[in-house]
């Protein structure tokens, strides 16, 4: 019941959205107090309500992706309010001005960097809305909703938050001095211990160089996790569904009864699974259309050679194994049954995407059909010898006998029998015909009287040739008198793609690495070593010369390439927009590079985070990585802006850098924790797990490193400019 599952998921996500909102408010409550928490809470609720209204005006519906967009956005929507409330809160601790002047001064101090930081987040996210292909329409609610939410949150933070602060944070409201002093002392001690050695002393320069070198080494090590397969690349992970499908392809020449018998054997094995509630078998026809039937066109399957088994599982809350684990467990036994009957048995899971013919597809091109078929057979054998490649099939029909009934027209003419009589007789015998209709009793519709040979007689040529036809003289004559049987080979189908004749080999990947990309790379290597240079392999375009042997890799690889290519371009455009925004604000071409330096630092958290949790790096992980570019730049802007402010007030460079780190640590840590808590609630989702891992570990590591690396980098830059040459 797809309606029920969709409703359950939507209700669960709405609960998570409420929990995420409450968690962020609780965080502010613990860090600053109930008045500040109430101020931030009202700002968040107003922002969410306005964002939902804007989303409705844009044309989005409440669905899994739009709800995930809101949950993902909770952490960044609250950032503006937290930064402004925290600065007002800080000013109340030492500024004795009137509340109106104090709030105005506090908002003015962080207003510029907050506006700039908001637009950097939008600049990072918004280009994803223009991604084409599969992921563009599917994921577009995330960048669009988040961007609209960021603009709304900025307006709320600059208008409603100061007003709420004026109403709640009066002059009589004082910060708990003991708690505040303890926190300030700990922060002061930490940065005096960690940061000052990089700013002064004879070894300060060497320490800075070691810091830069260690950071670069950590980035290289993080990227190396992909090379050693501790982080697995995949388009989208498997979801934990309550169903899977078994698709059976029998060899040519098989009867419907043989197909049904094989399906019976398969279902006997399926019924042994404790998680199975029921199953339904379809012999000679397709199952009712589902996601696989839609994207892989299973609904077009028909004929005696094909069969489907639709298997339903108990609810995921009542079983310990995921649907993917169940499919992996049952596959070997089903494969053995298929091999016994020379059938191809495929265990097909309901995928979240992408819509492809099969996870691994090799399109084979050649100078003629015979050569293509021969190469297809060779490639299929290589598929079978490659580890973890399963559910292998190809477009070549199995060798089967084909019987042609030839009419001796001269003899038939002598007997006075027409060709039409022969064709009609055979057609009635094999396919049946309604000879007449009768009405019996109170039946609403007439009952047909159907003429047709029994199924057993239809399979015997002798029975067909023993049929009689009536001659023009009224004499009954056996068909065997003037009909002969010729045995010919089966004529294979010829497939075309973009006007080029093509054959296919398809497969899936099962094993420790269930990403089809790794199976495809192993196949590429095996084909290259076995077939040498006789076959060219193409990856992103079809071969130009159809007279040469070639293999074009398709399937999940093609969608993965297009998606990551487009998202990589969106990432690049986002970085360029961030750079231009920071250049416009600080009137410098070098300073933006310092401010954007933490962006690569996110890799130090993202890749080890995926490896630690055993999560695959997917398209949603890439979305998290792109979002981090804007989120983490906010921290740099706050630090650099405060350093400039202190220098303008007359502070020494070293003290300005230290003060910036000390004063801005609390809002930076609070906004980072808020974003991490929002992501924490989607960590258990199979599809968006990668997005959550990227945000949690990327923010955790890059925030800590930003508080150290950015002050040191900016100090080096200003110190070098101030030092006479």
pLDDT tens for residues 117-129?
A: 889 888 988 888 8
- Round the CA-based radius of gyration of the chain to a whole number and report it: 35
Tell me the C-alpha distance between 357 and 174, whole Å: 66
Report the distance separating Cα 127 and Cα 135, nearest Å.
13
Q: Give residue 177's pLDDT.
A: 46
For residues 87 and 648, what is the distance between their CA atoms, to the nearest angstrom? 19
pTM for this prediction: 0.80
What was the pLDDT predicted at 378? 92
* Model pLDDT for residues 149-187, shown as the tens digit of each residue: 889 988 988 888 888 888 887 644 454 445 556 767 788
> 623: alpha, beta or left, given left = phi > 0 and alpha = psi -120 to 50?
alpha
What's the confidence (pLDDT) of residue 265? 94
Least Cα distance to 438 among 427, 450, 425, 447 occurs for 447
- Report the pLDDT averaged over residues 84-103: 79
pLDDT exceeds cutoff 50 at 621:
yes
Tokens of 319: 């079983």
Distance (Å, rounded) from C-alpha 83 to C-alpha 109?
11
Tell me which residue of 355, 354, 373, 351 sits closest to 364, measured CA to CA. 373
Residues 395-442: pLDDT tens digits?
888 877 888 888 888 888 888 888 888 898 888 888 888 888 888 777
Task: Name the band, by pLDDT with cuts 50, 70 and 90, for residue 724.
Answer: low
Rounded Cα distance, 551 and 506, in Å? 12
Cα 159 to Cα 153: distance, rounded to the nearest angstrom: 10
Output the pLDDT for position 39. Answer: 85
Least confident of 81-90, 127-136, 271-280, 550-559: 127-136
Mean pLDDT of the chain: 85
DSSP result, 286-330? PPSP-HHHHHS-GGG--STTEEEEEEEE--GGG-SS-HHHHHHHH
Grade residue 725 by pLDDT with cuts at 50, 70 and 90.
Answer: low
The Cα–Cα gap between 558 and 546 comes to 20
């Amino acid at each position: 019941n797809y309606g029920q599952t969709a409703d359950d998921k939507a209700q669960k996500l709405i609960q998570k959205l409420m929990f995420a909102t409450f968690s962020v408010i609780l965080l502010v409550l613990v860090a600053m107090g109930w008045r500040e928490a109430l101020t931030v809470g009202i700002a968040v609720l107003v922002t969410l309500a306005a964002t939902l209204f804007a989303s409705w005006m844009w044309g989005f519906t409440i669905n899994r992706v739009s709800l995930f967009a809101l949950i993902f956005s909770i952490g960044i929507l609250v950032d503006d309010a937290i930064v402004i409330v925290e600065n007002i809160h800080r000013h109340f601790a030492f500024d004795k001005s009137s509340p109106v002047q104090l709030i105005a001064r506090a908002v003015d101090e962080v207003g510029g960097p907050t506006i700039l930081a908001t637009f950097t987040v939008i600049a990072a996210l918004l280009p994803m809305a223009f991604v084409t292909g599969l992921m563009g329409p599917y994921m577009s609610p995330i960048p669009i909703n988040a961007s609209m939410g960021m603009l709304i949150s900025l307006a709320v933070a600059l208008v409603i938050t100061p007003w709420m602060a004026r109403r709640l944070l009066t002059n009589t409201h004082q910060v708990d001095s003991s708690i505040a002093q303890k926190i300030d002392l700990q922060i002061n001690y930490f940065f005096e211990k960690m940061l000052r050695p990089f700013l002064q002393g004879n070894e300060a320069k060497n320490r800075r160089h070691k810091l830069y070198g260690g950071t670069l080494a950590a980035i290289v090590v993080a990227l190396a996790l992909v090379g050693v397969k501790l982080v697995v690349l995949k388009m989208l992970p498997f979801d934990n569904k309550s169903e899977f499908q078994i698709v059976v392809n029998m060899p040519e020449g098989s009867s419907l009864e043989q197909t049904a018998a094989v399906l019976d054997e398969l279902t006997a094995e399926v019924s042994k699974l404790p998680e199975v509630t029921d199953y339904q078998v379809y012999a000679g026809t397709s199952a009712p259309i589902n996601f696989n039937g839609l994207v892989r066109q299973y609904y077009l399957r028909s004929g005696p050679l094909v069969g489907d088994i639709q298997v339903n599982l108990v609810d995921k809350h009542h079983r310990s194994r995921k649907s993917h684990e169940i499919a992996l467990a049952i596959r070997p036994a089903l494969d053995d049954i298929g091999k016994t009957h020379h059938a191809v048995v495929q265990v097909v899971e309901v995928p979240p995407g992408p819509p492809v013919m099969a996870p691994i597809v090799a399109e084979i091109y050649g100078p003629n059909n015979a050569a293509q078929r021969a190469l297809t057979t060779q490639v299929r054998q290589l598929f079978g010898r490659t580890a973890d490649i399963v559910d292998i099939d190809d477009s070549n029909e199995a060798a089967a006998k084909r019987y042609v009934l030839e009419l001796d027209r001269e003899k038939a003419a002598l007997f006075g029998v027409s060709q039409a009589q022969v064709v009609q007789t055979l057609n009635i015998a094999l396919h049946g015909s309604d000879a007449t209709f009768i009405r019996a009793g109170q039946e609403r519709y007439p009952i047909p009287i159907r003429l047709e040979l029994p199924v057993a007689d239809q399979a015997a040529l002798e029975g067909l040739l023993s049929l009689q036809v009536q001659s023009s003289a009224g004499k009954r004559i056996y068909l065997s008198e003037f009909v002969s049987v010729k045995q010919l080979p089966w004529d294979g189908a010829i497939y075309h793609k973009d006007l080029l004749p093509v054959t296919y080999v398809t497969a899936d990947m099962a094993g420790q690495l269930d990403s089809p990309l790794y199976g495809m790379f192993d196949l590429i290597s095996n084909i290259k070593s076995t077939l040498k240079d006789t076959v060219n392999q193409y990856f992103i375009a079809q071969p130009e010369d159809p007279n040469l042997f070639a293999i074009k890799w398709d399937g999940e690889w093609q969608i993965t390439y297009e998606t990551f290519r487009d998202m990589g371009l969106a990432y690049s455009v986002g970085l360029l927009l961030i750079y231009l925004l920071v250049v416009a604000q600080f009137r410098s071409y070098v300073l933006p590079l310092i401010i954007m330096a933490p962006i690569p630092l996110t890799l130090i958290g993202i890749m080890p985070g995926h490896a630690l949790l055993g999560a695959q790096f997917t398209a949603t992980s890439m979305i998290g990585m792109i979002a981090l570019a804007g989120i983490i730049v906010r921290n740099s802007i706050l630090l650099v802006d405060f350093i400039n402010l202190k220098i303008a007030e007359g502070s020494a460079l070293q003290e300005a850098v230290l003060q910036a780190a000390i004063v801005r640590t609390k809002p930076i840590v609070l906004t980072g924790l808020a974003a991490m808590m929002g992501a924490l609630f989607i960590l258990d989702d199979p599809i968006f797990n990668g997005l959550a891992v990227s945000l949690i570990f990327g923010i955790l590591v890059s925030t800590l490193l930003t508080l150290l690396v950015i002050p040191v980098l900016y100090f080096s830059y200003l110190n070098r400019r101030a030092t006479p040459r």
